């Protein structure tokens, strides 16, 4: 923890503070520059803000080599960084509120209209952080890559699967044992047999070359993928109304872009992987019938074990708006 704080302090000293004229924001990302969703979320967001502000607002980006993905919420909250592009599951240990957004149901318009993002934002403000954008996909955003195909049992009994807490219920339902690993360790862990498979968004394995060490895609895919952008609350409060409006407008644009293009990107990635010798393998009918409930209910249950009252209240709110089961 002291090492992270020292790094964060050094970054604050090295990067000029935000001023009213030229604003240089510090963006922290949980993924490196090869991350498959950068072209539809991170890059257009930063480019859009810079263009709309006529160059007044710009970003410098630091990745997981600066702060590990599972440890990034604290330096954002402390003000060492202004923005964070991440996954809710990476800071599940601090709060599970954003993780359960992956259990939402309905399209982007219904999720926006429900007010669920504003409800979740109330919890994050307690940490000095605001949820700026919640890009989501239609259902089918996650899958598991395997070194060996599914056998006659139709499950993953006895296999070690890389995941984060949000995947736990699906991996358990399939009979597997979950191993938590950061993204940077997935390739070598698959290559060396430390794990037998890895859970990840459908779009992304190709850019990390995991297909070289895991030749099977488990189907069907499941769940709503989320890739939120967070902002330090003090940074946000210092901005003028005009600049907030610009940033919010660009945040809405990338939400639209991600939801619109997600299915196309999944199909393109799968086609490219199949062309490189990867094959599809399918879970059994019994497992398929349990998949959606294992993902959705399992995620809410797991989150409630961490933060019961808040999670149960949020689930009731989501149910009342018909965006959760």
Residue 131's pLDDT is: 98
pLDDT tens digits along 61-107: 999 999 999 999 999 999 999 999 999 999 999 999 999 999 999 99
Order of strands, edge to edge, in the sheet holding 129-133? Answer: 57-62, 23-29, 83-85, 229-232, 129-133
What's the alpha-carbon Rg for the chain, to the nearest Å? 20
pLDDT recorded at residue 264: 96
* Residue 22 pLDDT: 83
State the pLDDT at residue 1. Answer: 46
C-alpha to C-alpha distances, 7 to 1, 12, 67, 185, 234, nearest whole angstrom: 10, 9, 8, 22, 20
CB of 105 closer than 8 Å to CB of 141: no
- Which band of pLDDT confidence, cut at 50, 70 and 90, is reported for residue 17? very low
pLDDT for the residue numbered 184: 92
Percent share of the chain, pLDDT over 90: 91
State the chain's mean pLDDT as an integer: 93
DSSP state of 232: E
d(C-alpha 60, C-alpha 14), whole Å: 12
The per-residue DSSP string of 7-68 comes to HHHHHHHHSPPP-SSSEEEEEEESS-TT-TTGGGTHHHHHHHHHHHTTTSEEEEEE-TTTS-
* Residue 259: both structure tokens together: 């939801």
Could you tell me the domains of the chain? 2-138+226-263 (3.40.190.170), 139-223+274-306 (3.40.190.170)
Q: How far is CA 85 from the centre of its chain?
A: 8
Find the mean pLDDT for residues 115-142: 97
Over residues 190-205, the mean pLDDT reads 96
């Amino acid at each position: 923890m002291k090492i992270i704080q020292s790094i964060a302090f050094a970054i604050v000293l090295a990067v000029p503070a935000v001023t009213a004229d030229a604003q240089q924001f510090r963006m922290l990302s949980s993924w490196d520059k090869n991350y498959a969703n950068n072209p539809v979320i991170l890059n257009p967001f930063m480019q859009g803000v810079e263009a709309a502000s006529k160059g007044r607002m710009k970003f410098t980006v630091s990745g997981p080599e600066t702060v590990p993905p599972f440890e990034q919420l604290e330096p954002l909250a402390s003000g060492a960084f202004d923005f964070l592009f991440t996954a809710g599951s990476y800071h599940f240990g601090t709060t599970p509120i954003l993780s359960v957004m992956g259990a939402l149901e309905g399209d982007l318009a219904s999720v926006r209209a429900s007010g669920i993002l504003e409800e979740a934002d109330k919890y994050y403000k307690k940490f000095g952080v605001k949820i700026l954008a919640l890009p989501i996909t239609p259902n089918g955003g996650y899958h598991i890559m395997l070194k060996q195909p599914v056998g006659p049992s139709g499950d993953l009994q006895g296999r070690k699967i890389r995941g984060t807490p949000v995947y736990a219920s699906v991996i358990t339902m399939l009979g597997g044992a979950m191993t938590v690993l950061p993204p940077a360790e997935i390739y070598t862990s698959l290559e060396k047999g430390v794990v037998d498979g890895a859970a990840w968004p459908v779009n992304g394995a190709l850019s990390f070359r995991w297909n070289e060490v895991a030749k099977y895609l488990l189907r069907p895919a499941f769940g709503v993928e989320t890739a939120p952008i967070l902002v330090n609350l003090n940074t946000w409060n210092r901005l003028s109304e005009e600049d907030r409006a610009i940033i919010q407008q660009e945040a809405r644009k990338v939400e639209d872009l991600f939801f619109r293009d997600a299915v196309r990107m999944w199909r393109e990635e799968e086609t490219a992987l199949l062309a490189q010798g990867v094959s599809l393998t399918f879970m059994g009918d019994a497992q398929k019938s349990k998949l959606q409930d294992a993902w959705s209910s399992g995620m809410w249950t797991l989150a409630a074990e961490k933060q019961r009252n808040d999670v149960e209240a949020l689930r009731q709110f989501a149910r009342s708006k018909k965006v959760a089961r």
